[in-house]
Structures are given as structure tokens and as C-alpha cells.
Amino acid sequence: LCSLSKDTINRNDINIYCNKAEDYKIYLLHNHLINGELTSAKELLGSVLREGSLIPLISYLATNFEILLMARACLDSGYSTANTLKTIVDNFNGKYEYRIKNLIKQVRRFDISDIRKAIDTLAELDYLSKSNNYYLGESMLGYLCEIYKIK
């Protein structure tokens, strides 16, 4: 962090530049995108891209949208928030309860067609990222803005 030539180092600098578990960085990236915080999302995406493969990023986000799809379907069918949480947590064998709880709070931002389109886009990105001689790199932010409806 000292090499940044900054007078002060803040929490945002630590989140962006210090190695943390990859899942945690992607969790933060998702939250920045959900909240429309494009500048923070761009910096964090740059960090994720510098440190490794796109495959874990795409996989984590695809799982988020799978959970959002289940939440939207449950809520649209009249399930209470508590029953929606229980149903989805049970579907994931008791894993990810905190993550699922947060996603249920965020699902109201998307309608079912937005979520399905996001899943299709993430599937396409997964294919492209695994294809020979194709690097998503900088274009990844544009795809994420489309998925999260950021203009």
C-alpha cells in the first residue's frame, strides 16, 4: 500500500489492493454493482482480473443469479421472506445462509426476465472465457453493467 504514494490509506484502499479471499472480493464487487457504485466496482474488478481467472468470478455471480431466480420465483408465488430463505437454504443443503439472506433483500431490484437474461449472459461469458484465444478483460465491466442495469 505504501507504493501507492498516498498520504493516507483508507478502508477502500485495503479492500482493493490487499489480498483477501477471492470470494470476498467478488462478494464486494456484486454489492458495489447492485448499489450502482461503478467507480468502486471498476477498481475492484481490476483487482480481481489482475489476480486471476474470470472463471471464479463468473461462477460466483452465476450462483448469485441462480439464487435470485429462486428468490424471485418464491416471492412471486406468495412465499414469505422467511419461507423463501428456508426453501433456498434447504436447496443448497444449509450452505450460504448469509449470502442468500442478502440476495433475497436485493431481488426486488430485478424482475424474472432480468434475472434470466443475466444468467444467459453469464453462461455466454463462461463459454467465452473458456474459449481459446478470447480474453474478456476490459469488456467484462460492460457486460456487468448490462447485467446489473447500470447506465
> Which residues, at least 6 apart from 132, have a Cβ–Cβ distance to it below 8 Å?
none
E strand or H helix at 89, and its extent?
A: helix 81-91
- pLDDT of 12 higher than 90: no
- Rounded to an integer, what distance in angstroms lies between the CA atom of residue 140 and that of residue 46? 10
pTM above 0.85, yes or no: no
pLDDT score at 5: 61
- pLDDT of 86 higher than 80: yes
**C-alpha distances out from residue 127 to 21, 22, 51, 59, 132, Å:** 24, 21, 20, 11, 10
In the Cβ-directed half-sphere of 12, how many Cα atoms lie within 13 Å? 10
pLDDT digits (tens, 9 = 90+) for 21-45: 778 889 999 999 999 999 999 999 9
Nearest alpha carbon to residue 146 among 103, 123, 117, 126: 117
- pLDDT of 2 higher than 60: no
* pLDDT band at residue 47 using 50, 70 and 90 as cut-offs: confident
pLDDT digits (tens, 9 = 90+) for 91-145: 999 989 999 999 999 999 999 999 999 999 999 999 988 887 667 777 899 999 9
pLDDT score at 130: 84
- Rounded to an integer, what distance in angstroms lies between the CA atom of residue 50 and that of residue 113? 32
Helix 22-34 / helix 38-51 crossing angle, nearest 10 deg: 160
Burial of 15 (0-12, 13-18, 19+ CB in 10 A): middle
- Rounded to an integer, what distance in angstroms lies between the CA atom of residue 52 and that of residue 21? 12
Considering the chain, what percentage of its residues have pLDDT values greater than 90? 66
Output the nine-digit C-alpha cell for 133.
484465444
Output the nine-digit C-alpha cell for 137.
478483460
